[in-house]
Amino acid sequence: MNTPDKGKKDLTPVEISFRDIVPEIRDTTYLTHSIYYYPAKFIPQVVRFCIKEFTKENDWIIDPFAGSGTVGLEAFLTKRNAILLDLNYLLRHIIPIKIYQGTQEHSKNGLAKKIQEVQEEEDNFVPKYINVRYWYPDEIFEVLSRYWAGVHKLDEDIYKWIIQASLVKISKQFSLAEHRTPKLFRSKFKKRYISELMQTDWKRQLDSKLFQNSYKFYDSVRHLQHVTKGHDNEVRCYAGTDSSTFKLESGRELDALTTSPPYLQAQEYIRTSKLDLFWLEYTEKQIREISKLEIPYRKAERIIETYTLNKIREKIENDKLVRILNSYFDHTIASLENSMNLLKKDGKACIFVGNPKVDGIEVETWRILTEYFTEKRFGFEIVFDDKIKTRQLFGARKNKNPDGMKSEYLLVLTKNT
């Protein structure tokens, strides 16, 4: 087991501001990064830094916690290839439009005609979710169910993917579910908002949003096509995938890993998109199956031991929190290790994590990962300390770390053999 002194390299974090050293990205929502909402998105400046520093054109990068596909888009923009893994089925719907590579001729007029087809649909689509009507007034539900029936009848092309993305956003905004924060719940604000909305011409507002969102997303995709003209790299997406057991069919060696694992006690990723997934034709059984595989809900199959992690366990008196800690590091490390084993010799693993608190005790995630992996054929390169200025993870809910984390850390490891 690693001790604090083991290794020749200094483990002191190096302060950095990724937003400052990657000036070409001024906005974290640029191009198609903002089409789909996703909690705690991986900021593209960090990904771009890792790609520029540790890979070259046509290299292969893997992300075992792909989330909204930030690594995939940044890889494609810089002429790299990417393999994206995530439990959430939503990734399957994000990638075709976020990283659009089609050759279909399209126009805004063509998009408008498809939206009108959706609006004229007479059939209904009712999600396979027993409580779906709990989230909507009857009048709004009837309109959305017709529009979703129309979307599901469209061909799989750029028009469908854009309208679908717009309708996902609208279906949350015009529901009783709180759309401003992660997690699926009805807030007093939303109840009041929807009650007041129903006293207005809400149908006109909904239709206006459908067109506005769709046109905005269309412009983003057109801009993406312009800046990536001539790019022919691959982005492979494996949604609904347990990255701890994923097997790459080709058996190829990969050049780098770039990822941001879920944070300790962060449980909202599937629940946040639950309503979206039902409208996208997933069943309660399918969603329940992937929800059970989220790290906070899984039991530890082994106890990860490192010097720092053992010291933290000794200080925590609450057995439930110890079980959460054990589960988190078991399954997070299993997913990281499974992908890192695919790296070629000297391939880099870039892991972006925070140091949350459990019962007031700081959990130095990057240090624990360093201690574990330097016993497993990996060498420590450097760790960067990026001070958090505006980003907050799940800030609206009660948690064990209400003030939020002060820094996030980019750990860089090298595969030695």
pLDDT in tens, 127-158: 999 999 999 999 999 999 999 999 999 999 99
How far is Cα 417 from Cα 409, in angstroms, rounded to an integer?
25
Specify whether the CB–CB gap between 412 and 13 falls below 8 A: no
| Among 16-25, 176-185, 275-284, 289-298, the least confident range | 176-185
For the stretch 149-186, pLDDT in tens is 999 999 999 999 999 999 999 999 999 998 777 678 88
pLDDT of residue 4: 55
pLDDT of residue 398: 45
Residue 309 vs residue 396, higher pLDDT: 309
pLDDT of residue 124: 97
Residue 199 has pLDDT above 50, yes or no: yes
pLDDT category of residue 252 using cuts at 50, 70 and 90? confident
pLDDT of residue 302: 96
pLDDT of residue 401: 41
Residue 399 has pLDDT above 50, yes or no: no
Specify whether the CB–CB gap between 213 and 54 falls below 8 A: no
pLDDT category of residue 67 using cuts at 50, 70 and 90? very high
Residue 44 has pLDDT above 90, yes or no: yes
Specify whether the CB–CB gap between 129 and 137 falls below 8 A: no
Alpha helices in 81-185 (DSSP H): 90-98, 108-119, 138-153, 158-173
Bridge partners of 343, per DSSP, are: 254
Closest CA to 65 of 323, 238, 223: 238
Query: Whole-model pTM?
Result: 0.93
Structure tokens at 122: 């007479």
Structure tokens at 207: 């239709």
Bridge partners of 386, per DSSP, are: 16, 408
For the stretch 81-117, pLDDT in tens is 999 999 999 999 999 999 999 999 999 999 999 999 9
Task: Kindly report the average pLDDT of the chain as a whole number.
Answer: 92
Residue 214 has pLDDT above 70, yes or no: yes
Q: Which domains does the chain have, with CATH numbers?
A: 14-99+235-415 (3.40.50.150), 108-227 (no CATH)
pLDDT of residue 45: 97
